[in-house]
Chains A and B, each alone.
Chain A
């Protein structure tokens, strides 16, 4: 038997034995059997003692190579072998449910409102607030909403007395901000608003809006589009497209409605966007010169834009909620999903 044949014989036996190894423990046994103190290789090395120097050198070299191959094969097998089952019988059941603390949730409307505001804050907007019990002056008059405008009808607002009402939008915060602080201004006003709508799947008499106002040097409609487009991309993703079309609000001019490409269908057309590919998100416009004048701001010196959006609507879209009433029911099984 030649030296090479002898080496291949040992290797062949080893490979067969390695194939039979099931888990890490049997690999370890095999390692001892071949590389250990009384192992196959040690014996082969010992068997060289009777050889002539020439053959001894050759055999020694080959055996060393073989040892490296075996070590490599064992190491690799060991890494992939199944872990060894412990000998003892531990009755611990790792499939039992985990024990977590009982944690509550933030309300989806407030989460959404925070999310909206947070993006504007990153763009340098301050937060502003106003009272929920407003004066007719702040809620309508100063906003250039004429006495005969339908929204001023006694049945379209919750009146408290002839001069006070629950604010029907967050826009009066614009007025309060302009009266209190001088431009440049960059503010966002989140809050509750009230309208005597009958409760149904898309109306509540109490809901939330986020209002924005920017009065700075040289602000144009182009800034309005740029800021709101940036906000929409931060809120809904970079691939979102925005579209602005003319609209009417007494306190802005030109006024616009901003739509985003439908997030449900990717603007292909679906029931959510009424097959138009677009979804209305907010109303906006350049602050009306009358409104600036009402706040003692010179409309020739300063221009600005304002915008407002409904938080419930945005939350409904975001979470696929089809009935707005879920937000005020406060059912645990609804809230715990957030």
Chain B
């Protein structure tokens, strides 16, 4: 809100420099976003918290400055004479829904002379960013800025049957508002209507049909209270936020409705040359409760860490407009009507702390020593992330929601319904993701479009699904790797191995992946994820141009459950030199490595003098020297002697056994010298 310093000084004699005023306001909880000079006055743009609608006014800010500077605050005197007709002769008020309009005061000022406002008033309006219109309209705006209560002025003649009806809009009703726009009123929007049509969008903006114009003689001043939620709903629905709606949304003050009405009447009589009609219509008036809140002086240090004496606390509360009575253990504060936010003791302590200044609270408190609980999931996630980064994967951060069309594939976990999020603005609903890979493919595609094509990505984040009685979330780990299947597999294996997770891969056709190039990732004996090369058609649909892209996704909650940061008991390396032999065998193309390795391991004599510690693939070759339908598989075996150096016959015997077994079980032929 814009606050001209000159205007503030009308109510409190602040003699601080603008910079000091800024600091004083900030330290009382009102941050100044900008200081500008407008026509010789200093104007502060003040940020007012949503619980302080009373401070959306010059008087409110003046009251705060009075408390901070200990200078006296003065409210303007309301003195005017009433005469002429009774207000009831000029207008009838019918409030149809008291919940949506808990108070409506109508006053009338007759025989006004429409003209420009005095220069001083116009200047103040310009300073707060308003455009002066004419004396009557300007006064409603002036009073709103002065005390925070939005007002509206109607031309009494233009109200059909001299009637004001506060009601909700009927389907299809429209209003031409003062901003020159015609708004279609949403059903349920609160309107001010005459006997026929809406004449104002309640609490938001007036309409042209009852506008104050040069010909206006009699003015009806509306000062009312409207339901904040309904005002906000209407304002959102028609996309129009005004000074008025902003204040009503934060709840106007029940008593202020009356003060503002009188203030406007007074000014219209003074500056508009009018006569205030007799009386006022006060629809729905009910006496609201007066709140009295006790404050124990001993409680202050328990909350703030420093004591504040009874005298000081009393003085602060008085300056803020509270009535204060001494009690046995402290004070009882009567809450002023404009401070609806103050309800209990803690609210009073905040007031005291705020005005006393948070700076006065020391920064030397100590807390007992305490060791935090180890957080295994986070430690394991951190370790996994570092390992993945070390394997060349970049960590991505992607959206948890997707467009519905993107959400179907890669849902390994569940065919249960995804969680749908309602779009607040009527756009298409979003779907919470059930898998991470789709988002990583988007990252891949986006980078490709910038010719950054070499990136492997991973993400550890939540996926969501509906379950029988609610929703389920689980953390997943996913990766995409343009280097292909074996790189992805090697990376995932490394991570699982270093986290000491018992796992294996089982070949199985998986949706969205090439069926012959995909595996289940088994953790223990359960399927906990997949890995594979992505179907080129899926890539094409998702705008990824690189081919051979591999991906994986595993249930990270399960990984954490069986993971360990420590390996447990470890063995010592063998002291005798290991023996390595390289072999190349020609086998049928369809022979898998898993089968071949198993054959080699089974052929190695158990219980002998050596252990088979490694069977390691190093080349697969197909080409001219290899018969069609065959491939050459080169691998090395490493034997670790247990107690003594191996004899040459023992080594050759073991190798011969392996070769023989490969020959018998898969028709393998040793290729060249081993």
Q: Does A170 lie at the interface of the complex (its beta carbon under 8 Å from any beta carbon of B)?
A: no
Which residues of chain A are within 8 angstroms of B29 by Cβ–Cβ distance?
A: 245-248
Contact with B along A139-157 (1 / 0, CB 8 A): 0000000011110011111
Query: Closest Cβ of chain A: how far from B358's Cβ, in Å?
Result: 4
Q: Max chain B CB contacts within 10 Å: which of A160, A243, A327, A330?
A: A330
By the criterion CB–CB under 8 Å, are A246 and B462 in contact?
Answer: no
Q: Considering the complex, which residues of chain A in the window 149-206 have a beta carbon less than 8 Å from any beta carbon of chain B? A: 149-150, 153-160, 164, 166, 186, 192, 194, 196, 206
Known: A221-B304, A244-B358. A105 touches B425 (CB 8 A): no
Chain A: CB-nearest residue to B27? A245
* A149–B371 CA distance with the chains assembled, in angstroms: 38
Which residues of chain B are within 8 angstroms of A328 by Cβ–Cβ distance?
A: 397-399
Query: Closest Cβ of chain B: how far from A119's Cβ, in Å?
Result: 11
* A220–B49 CA distance with the chains assembled, in angstroms: 23
Known: A126-B375, A153-B236. A159 touches B421 (CB 8 A): yes
Known: A164-B471, A196-B424, A254-B350. A245 touches B361 (CB 8 A): no
Chain A residues touching B, range: 35 or more
Secondary structure at the A interface, as helix, strand, loop or mixed, is mixed
Which residues of chain A are within 8 angstroms of B303 by Cβ–Cβ distance?
A: 220-221, 254, 286, 303
* A53–B232 CA distance with the chains assembled, in angstroms: 120
Known: A149-B50, A247-B29. A104 touches B368 (CB 8 A): no
Q: Does B96 lie at the interface of the complex (its beta carbon under 8 Å from any beta carbon of A)?
A: no
Which residues of chain B are within 8 angstroms of A104 by Cβ–Cβ distance?
A: 388-395, 456, 458
Q: Considering the complex, which residues of chain A in the window 98-128 have a beta carbon less than 8 Å from any beta carbon of chain B? A: 101-107, 109-110, 114, 121, 123-127
Known: A154-B424, A225-B365. A126 touches B372 (CB 8 A): yes
How many residue pairs bridge A and B at CB < 8 Å?
225
Contact with A along B363-391 (1 / 0, CB 8 A): 11111111111010010001001101111
By the criterion CB–CB under 8 Å, are B447 and A331 in contact?
Answer: yes
Contact with A along B402-441 (1 / 0, CB 8 A): 0000000000000000011111110000101000000000
Chain A: CB-nearest residue to B397? A107
Q: Considering the complex, which residues of chain A in the window 316-331 have a beta carbon less than 8 Å from any beta carbon of chain B? A: 327-331
Q: Max chain B CB contacts within 10 Å: which of A101, A253, A329, A336?
A: A253
By the criterion CB–CB under 8 Å, are B236 and A246 in contact?
Answer: no
By the criterion CB–CB under 8 Å, are A110 and B369 in contact?
Answer: no
By the criterion CB–CB under 8 Å, are A329 and B446 in contact?
Answer: yes
Q: Does A78 lie at the interface of the complex (its beta carbon under 8 Å from any beta carbon of B)?
A: no
Q: Considering the complex, which residues of chain B in the window 340-364 have a beta carbon less than 8 Å from any beta carbon of chain A? A: 344, 346-347, 349-350, 353-354, 358-359, 361-364
Q: Does A313 lie at the interface of the complex (its beta carbon under 8 Å from any beta carbon of B)?
A: no
Q: Considering the complex, which residues of chain B in the window 229-258 have a beta carbon less than 8 Å from any beta carbon of chain A? A: 229, 232-233, 236, 249, 251
By the criterion CB–CB under 8 Å, are A103 and B306 in contact?
Answer: no
* A101–B456 CA distance with the chains assembled, in angstroms: 14
Query: Closest Cβ of chain A: how far from B453's Cβ, in Å?
Result: 9
By the criterion CB–CB under 8 Å, are A330 and B424 in contact?
Answer: no
* A131–B425 CA distance with the chains assembled, in angstroms: 25
Query: Closest Cβ of chain B: how far from A7's Cβ, in Å?
Result: 64
* A107–B396 CA distance with the chains assembled, in angstroms: 6
By the criterion CB–CB under 8 Å, are B50 and A226 in contact?
Answer: no
Chain A: CB-nearest residue to B26? A245
By the criterion CB–CB under 8 Å, are B464 and A132 in contact?
Answer: yes
By the criterion CB–CB under 8 Å, are B228 and A131 in contact?
Answer: no
By the criterion CB–CB under 8 Å, are A330 and B446 in contact?
Answer: yes
* A243–B359 CA distance with the chains assembled, in angstroms: 7
By the criterion CB–CB under 8 Å, are A103 and B354 in contact?
Answer: no
* A114–B388 CA distance with the chains assembled, in angstroms: 17
Q: Does A95 lie at the interface of the complex (its beta carbon under 8 Å from any beta carbon of B)?
A: no
Contacting B425 at CB < 8 Å: which of A196, A223, A335?
Answer: A196
Known: A186-B370, A245-B26. A330 touches B443 (CB 8 A): yes
Q: Does B537 lie at the interface of the complex (its beta carbon under 8 Å from any beta carbon of A)?
A: no
Query: Closest Cβ of chain B: how far from A133's Cβ, in Å?
Result: 5
* A255–B303 CA distance with the chains assembled, in angstroms: 12
Secondary structure at the B interface, as helix, strand, loop or mixed, is mixed
Which residues of chain B are within 8 angstroms of A101 by Cβ–Cβ distance?
A: 390, 392
Q: Does A218 lie at the interface of the complex (its beta carbon under 8 Å from any beta carbon of B)?
A: yes
Contacting B302 at CB < 8 Å: which of A121, A206, A303, A329?
Answer: A303
Contacting B353 at CB < 8 Å: which of A248, A254, A274?
Answer: A254
By the criterion CB–CB under 8 Å, are B367 and A255 in contact?
Answer: no
Chain A: CB-nearest residue to B427? A196
Contacting A220 at CB < 8 Å: which of B232, B301, B391?
Answer: B301
Q: Does A88 lie at the interface of the complex (its beta carbon under 8 Å from any beta carbon of B)?
A: no
By the criterion CB–CB under 8 Å, are A106 and B395 in contact?
Answer: yes
Q: Considering the complex, which residues of chain B in the window 285-329 have a beta carbon less than 8 Å from any beta carbon of chain A? A: 301-306
By the criterion CB–CB under 8 Å, are B400 and A335 in contact?
Answer: no
Which residues of chain A are within 8 angstroms of B52 by Cβ–Cβ distance?
A: 248
Query: Closest Cβ of chain A: how far from B248's Cβ, in Å?
Result: 11
Q: Does A212 lie at the interface of the complex (its beta carbon under 8 Å from any beta carbon of B)?
A: no
Q: Max chain A CB contacts within 10 Å: which of B363, B370, B430?
A: B363
Q: Does A222 lie at the interface of the complex (its beta carbon under 8 Å from any beta carbon of B)?
A: yes
By the criterion CB–CB under 8 Å, are B370 and A332 in contact?
Answer: no
Q: Does B36 lie at the interface of the complex (its beta carbon under 8 Å from any beta carbon of A)?
A: no
Q: Does B473 lie at the interface of the complex (its beta carbon under 8 Å from any beta carbon of A)?
A: yes
Which residues of chain B are within 8 angstroms of A246 by Cβ–Cβ distance?
A: 27-29, 350, 353-354, 358
* A223–B304 CA distance with the chains assembled, in angstroms: 9
Q: Does A136 lie at the interface of the complex (its beta carbon under 8 Å from any beta carbon of B)?
A: no
By the criterion CB–CB under 8 Å, are A222 and B362 in contact?
Answer: yes
Contacting A222 at CB < 8 Å: which of B51, B365, B370, B382?
Answer: B365
By the criterion CB–CB under 8 Å, are B473 and A332 in contact?
Answer: no
Query: Closest Cβ of chain B: how far from A203's Cβ, in Å?
Result: 14
By the criterion CB–CB under 8 Å, are B389 and A127 in contact?
Answer: no
Q: Max chain A CB contacts within 10 Å: which of B50, B52, B365, B399?
A: B365
* A23–B232 CA distance with the chains assembled, in angstroms: 86
Q: Does B452 lie at the interface of the complex (its beta carbon under 8 Å from any beta carbon of A)?
A: yes
Q: Does A229 lie at the interface of the complex (its beta carbon under 8 Å from any beta carbon of B)?
A: yes
Contact with B along A269-298 (1 / 0, CB 8 A): 000001000000000001011000000000
* Given A148-B228, A329-B446, A331-B450, 20 new contacts (CB under 8 A): A102-B454, A104-B393, A104-B395, A148-B229, A150-B50, A153-B232, A158-B421, A159-B422, A160-B419, A196-B423, A218-B302, A219-B367, A220-B303, A221-B303, A223-B365, A223-B367, A244-B361, A245-B26, A286-B346, A333-B452
23 A–B contacts from the bound complex (CB under 8 Å): A102-B454, A103-B392, A104-B391, A105-B394, A107-B394, A124-B370, A124-B372, A148-B228, A155-B424, A158-B422, A160-B420, A192-B462, A221-B305, A221-B353, A222-B364, A225-B358, A225-B363, A244-B358, A245-B358, A246-B354, A247-B29, A330-B398, A331-B452
Interface residues of B (CB under 8 A from A): 26-29, 31, 33, 49-52, 228-229, 232-233, 236, 249, 251, 301-306, 344, 346-347, 349-350, 353-354, 358-359, 361-373, 375, 378, 382, 385-386, 388-401, 419-425, 430, 432, 443, 446-447, 450, 452, 454-458, 461-462, 464, 470-471, 473
Closest CB pairs A-B (n = 8): A222-B305, A246-B29, A124-B370, A220-B305, A248-B49, A155-B424, A254-B350, A104-B389
